[in-house]
């Protein structure tokens, strides 16, 4: 228990630091003339914030499917014809997640990219008024009940990085591949979780790339797989 509390405390400190860095960098960008250094600092701040936020992902108390802390889901308002979004659960969200009741807790978060608006988080809390959808999962009644936290309007492209193919067998030679869209199994119709996502940030004619790891499994300090509580 002490090890778990210590790990949560350290993780919280890292997340607070990443949020402070992102806020500071955003303010600096807004208050100074646009320069190459400011753009580089913005991109690094966003990447650090995403890394720190994903490090806090854990198994949800509700809507739990499998043992993956990162999966692919469609939030309310996204039809079956739309690609799912990278989804993860936060027991306590960072301060950037504006919540009228203080710190947002028990938050389901989706990584959302739009060609016009850039990169954002869509999210809802299990403390909101929810209802069961057709698959029996709790979610907001309407898309308007999803909250949105902008991350970067300079994110211009997103790519998904996979190691090998889904049907590779032990001993097969695997190669890394980068896809424009999530990889879908034609037979099952299910999408495959990437190992990394690559974000491309663009300002004027300058491009910067950052790679974000998606830690699918979370190991507890005692070396055992995490249990929800």
- pLDDT tens profile 29-57: 455 555 788 899 999 999 999 999 999 99
Q: Are 87 and 68 in contact (CB under 8 A)?
A: no
| pTM above threshold 0.85 | no
Per-residue pLDDT at 125 exceeds 80: yes
Per-residue pLDDT at 6 exceeds 50: no
The tokens describing 52, both together, are 């720190």
What pLDDT is stored for residue 4 in this prediction? 40
Helix (H, G, I), strand (E, B) or coil at 54: helix
More confident residue, 190 or 226: 190
Q: Are 9 and 226 in contact (CB under 8 A)?
A: no
Angle separating helix axes 2-31 and 36-55, nearest 10 degrees:
160
The tokens describing 211, both together, are 């790679």
What pLDDT is stored for residue 162 in this prediction? 93
Q: Give the rounded percent of residues in the chain with a pLDDT score beyond 70.
A: 76
Per-residue pLDDT at 227 exceeds 90: no
Q: What is the mean pLDDT of residues 197-209?
A: 93
What pLDDT is stored for residue 9 in this prediction? 47
């Amino acid at each position: 228990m002490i090890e778990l509390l210590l790990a949560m405390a350290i993780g919280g400190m890292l997340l607070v630091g990443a949020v402070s860095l992102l806020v500071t960098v955003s303010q600096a960008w807004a208050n100074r003339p646009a320069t190459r250094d400011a753009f580089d600092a913005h991109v690094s701040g966003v990447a650090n914030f995403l890394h720190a936020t994903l490090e806090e992902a854990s198994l949800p108390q509700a809507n739990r499917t499998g043992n993956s802390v990162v999966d692919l889901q469609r939030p309310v308002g996204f039809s079956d014809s739309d690609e799912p979004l990278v989804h993860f659960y936060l027991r306590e969200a960072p301060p950037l997640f504006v919540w009228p009741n203080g710190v947002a807790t028990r938050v389901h978060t989706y990584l959302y990219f739009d060609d016009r608006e850039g990169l954002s988080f869509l999210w809802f809390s299990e403390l909101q008024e929810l209802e069961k959808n057709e698959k029996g999962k709790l979610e907001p009644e309407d898309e308007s009940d999803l909250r949105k936290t902008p991350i970067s309007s300079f994110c211009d492209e997103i790519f998904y990085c996979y190691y090998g193919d889904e049907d590779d067998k032990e001993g097969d030679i695997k190669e890394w591949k980068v896809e424009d869209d999530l990889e879908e199994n034609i037979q099952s119709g299910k999408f495959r979780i990437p190992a990394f996502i690559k974000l491309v940030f663009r300002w004027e004619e300058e491009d910067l790339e950052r790679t974000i790891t998606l830690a699918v499994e979370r190991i507890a300090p005692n070396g055992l797989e995490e249990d929800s509580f």
